[in-house]
Amino acid sequence: MQHGQWTFSLFSDGVIALDGGASFGIVPKPLWEKQVAADDRNRVPVALRCLLAEGHGRRVLIDTGIGDRWDARQRDIYGMQRRAGQLLTELEAAGVPRPSITDVVLTHLHFDHVGGACLDLANGMSPAFDTARWWVQRQQWEWAQNPSERDRVSFRSEDFEALADTGRLELIDGPAEIIPGLRLHPVHGHTPGMQIPEFFTGQGVVVFLTDLIPTTAHLHLPWIAGFDLNPLLSLSEKRQLLSRAVEDDYILVFQHDPRHEACRVEFQDGRFRARIAGTLDEVAGTAGAGA
């Protein structure tokens, strides 16, 4: 999808299943199951999407999927449906070999975002994109070394510790424009120092929502996953981003929504909701009311 000075494409590292209750926080099941059906273990499907953005001579990958280093028991717990090396295979098939990636933005270091960052080679863990620069908020990097008991299960240090030895790990302090038009916007309610990539393309704004708003259902402000460490902060961060998104008719890209890749939003009857949702191409092809 061409948009101003950038081109965007989505790649999948498969689908997992997470507990429906945890995915929707305090929202009662009779409400959330109208949006998404649970399986016989009360789990809901969670897409693992990564965004490839090309512009200004750079090829930027946002997040790296869940990766291959999972045993049979873990694959069962997380209901993993993916092929070995799926993300890398999809990139290769699209004419995007690993050495052509110039930059990898890690929104945060939870295992379903950074699991594919490193490969388990004979001589130890090694970055999958071995010529890329890696962009992480310093606050998230430090939190991931020493998480709380509550979120420790979400981090596996072997996913990312090898990045520290590359000389290409860029730890960022706060908001940053790392390439012209690509701004990283830190938010802290889900986990301290998560960063939201926002592309100001010259034709509009494209935002990769990561875990701030994982699916269309989570556009409604009080629908916040139980995983978020500081839900009241997530609430205000969602309100702030969605207000901008309505005002300037942003294209919002979902990492985890199995049905919709993207949407544009409106504020109607006291709540935020999708004005249009669908594939990234479909959503990009619609001009907004104010555009």
- Nearer Cβ to Zn ion (86/210): 210
Q: Closest separation between CB of residue 212 and Zn ion, Å?
A: 9
Token pair belonging to 192: 């301290």
| CB-CB contact of 260 with 248 (8 Å) | no
Task: Report CA 137 to chain centroid distance, whole Å.
Answer: 14
Measured from the CB atom, is 1 or 15 closer to Zn ion? 15
Is the Cβ of residue 63 or residue 103 nearer to Zn ion in the bound state? 63
Comparing CB distances to Zn ion, the nearer of 61 and 225 is 225
Find the binding residues for Zn ion in span 162-221 (CB under 5 A): 211
Closest contact distance (angstroms) between CB of 61 and Zn ion is: 17
- DSSP conformation class of 131: T
176-181 long-range contacts (CB < 8 A, ≥24 apart) are 178/103, 178/105, 178/135, 179/55, 179/56, 179/58, 179/60, 179/103, 180/5, 180/56, 181/4, 181/5, 181/6, 181/55, 181/56
Q: In 3D, which of 181, 218, 212, 219 has the Cα closest to residue 195?
A: 212
Q: Which position's Cβ is nearest Zn ion? A: 110
Least Å distance between CB 149 and Zn ion? 17
- The string over 58-72, giving b where at least 16 C-beta atoms fall within 10 Å of a residue's C-beta and e elsewhere, is bbbbbbbbbbbbbee
How many chain residues are in contact with Zn ion, going by CB under 5 A?
2
CA distance to 17, 59, 84, 237, per residue, from 66 (Å): 12, 21, 11, 26
Cβ closest to Zn ion, residue 6 vs residue 24 = 24
Minimum CB distance to Zn ion smaller for 87 or for 179 = 87
Instruction: Give, as ranges, the residues between 96 and 155 that touch Zn ion (CB under 5 A).
Output: 110
CA 130 – CA 97 distance, rounded (Å): 11
Least separation in angstroms between CB 8 and Zn ion = 22
Of 103 and 228, the one with the shorter C-beta distance to Zn ion is 228
Q: Which H or E element spans position 20?
A: helix 20-24
Gap between the Cα atoms of 103 and 265, Å rounded: 29
Assign 152 to helix, strand or coil: helix
CB of 187 to Zn ion, least distance (A): 11
CB of 74 to Zn ion, least distance (A): 17
- Whole-number minimum distance, CB 153 to Zn ion, in Å? 12
Amino acid at 59: R
Nearest to Zn ion of 43, 110 (CB atom): 110
Work out how close the CB of 134 gets to Zn ion at its nearest, in angstroms, rounded to a whole number.
17
Binding site for Zn ion (CB under 5 A): 110, 211
